[in-house]
Amino acid sequence: MAAQNDPKQNHLLAALPQNEFERLAPHLELVSLALGEVLYESGGRLNHVYFPTDSIVSLLYVMEDGSSAEIAVVGNEGILGISLFMGGETTPSRAVVQSEGFGYRLPAQLLKREFNRGGPMMLLLLRYTQALITQMSQTAVCNRHHSIDQQLSRWLLMSLDRLHSDELTMTQELIANMLGVRREGVTEAAGKLRDAGIIEYSRGHIKVLDRPKLEQHVCECYAVVKKEIDRLLSDTPPGKAFSSLM
Amino acid sequence: MAAQNDPKQNHLLAALPQNEFERLAPHLELVSLALGEVLYESGGRLNHVYFPTDSIVSLLYVMEDGSSAEIAVVGNEGILGISLFMGGETTPSRAVVQSEGFGYRLPAQLLKREFNRGGPMMLLLLRYTQALITQMSQTAVCNRHHSIDQQLSRWLLMSLDRLHSDELTMTQELIANMLGVRREGVTEAAGKLRDAGIIEYSRGHIKVLDRPKLEQHVCECYAVVKKEIDRLLSDTPPGKAFSSLM
DNA sequence: GTAGGTATGTCCGCTACCGCACACTGTCAA
DNA sequence: TTGACAGTGTGCGGTAGCGGACATACCTAC
């Protein structure tokens, strides 16, 4: 598909004014991101930033005893490697490809230079970071208060939003890692959704049959995050809406 | 106490080069922050940013059903109101004074202007934001995997680090709100710590007797966050260590 | 076809935590 | 002194999710 190879499938790149985009374009390198690939290891240095197009990448915190939890998910609405321009150089989280596909990457130095111009790119990246913070916070609350059923629903919807399909390739085992729960817990929750006619699945393939019903089933966390992402980013046509820091 | 009224008790203000600090100083307004005071309401506009000196402020997410959870805590190492310069204008979280004391506030417009100069202030604020992100992420994981005992220990240590004392004024009811658990759960966890000779308390006053023991008792989350804050901020003498974005 | 691995389903006892109810005890004000 | 109340202790049944053990189904490679 030609569309798959268009950097502007990534919302951040698409939101840049044309001249800004063209300055970056020659340096954007198309990369294929395979399922399970680790883009950043916890504490590791960042050599590139990634702009996913049709792939999804999870930010995971892995603990000493090996248990883990997803703290945010990044798709074509965002960028991976924010700690680069935030000044940390390293991330404390691990970035794992959750749904394979493509993305564009940019050398770290180049992004820093662009960020330091202080123009639209900087404002856009900061806004996205703000949206990411919201997602992380809501994840914290969701972990505390909501059932696996609800969290699974949220996770499915967030994944769907970042794909161009109603299907995803993902085993229950992997979902359990993301949610930080047991695989059996996911089996049970998924069974309920299937019995309700909301999804069907088998051996690593999940298909959403009734999205409206799924949206009824989910906790408020999904809508909060989506709304905030939309507020901060979607209504950001090229070269506009950058007046907030004036 | 005179020291209480020194803006440089706040680590961020203290880390600024002298000339930068002096430009801000005339506009810094000392404010008293009372227990329970709400600095920002969820979704509200931000008119000021706050630099706590000897107070502690919690960032809370409050859900539709009224249940809540603390996603981060800010004391004299930080600033409240980051979404101002991140471009969001509003925060999705509520900021509540958890330990009364003082802080300095700065009009929103002034901070934005300072941020936009792109100098040390900007770099410092971004680094702090990065540290805050780490704290939020670790909170998400801690909510998922750790017991109330461990979380209470973490919460106590994080509070102690931001005070100048081994005592804090805080009822179990309020701690429960912060941790997003039942009051009874906190009573039980606190009872264990008391029986172990680690703390003593009565009617809203908690005194830590044996901090080393408390540190043995806590989950890894505490150390991870503390280390990251230190890495990003403590080794940032005035006017130095700002080369990361060159 | 058959074997072996991967993905899913199911059952068990167990524990942490919840929701609720109510008793006790310092503290402070009338 | 005496309420009144905020803060804390405690007990009880209920449940969600855990840890572990296994059974089943499907997919692929030989």
Q: Enumerate the residues of chain B whose CB falls inside 8 A of the CB of residue A232.
A: 87-88
Residue B238's pLDDT is what?
46
Residue A153's pLDDT is what?
96
Write the pLDDT tens digit of every residue in A33-55.
Answer: 999 899 999 988 999 999 999 99
Residue B243's pLDDT is what?
44
Over range A87-101, report the average pLDDT: 89
Does the CB of A202 fall within 7 Å of any strand C atom?
yes
Over range B185-190, report the average pLDDT: 95
Decide if A71 and B141 are in contact by the 8 Å CB cutoff.
Answer: yes
Separation in Å, CA of B156 to nearest CA in chain A: 19
Decide if A61 and B123 are in contact by the 8 Å CB cutoff.
Answer: no
The DSSP code for A41 is -
| Closest CB from B59, B112, B144 relative to A180 | B144
Write the pLDDT tens digit of every residue in A52-85.
Answer: 999 999 999 999 888 899 999 999 999 999 999 9
Closest CA to B124 of B49, B24, B17: B17
First to last CA, chain A: 41
Task: Say how far apart CA B162 and CA A102 lie, in whole Å.
Answer: 44
Write the pLDDT tens digit of every residue in B3-52.
Answer: 557 999 999 999 999 999 999 999 999 999 999 899 999 988 999 999 99
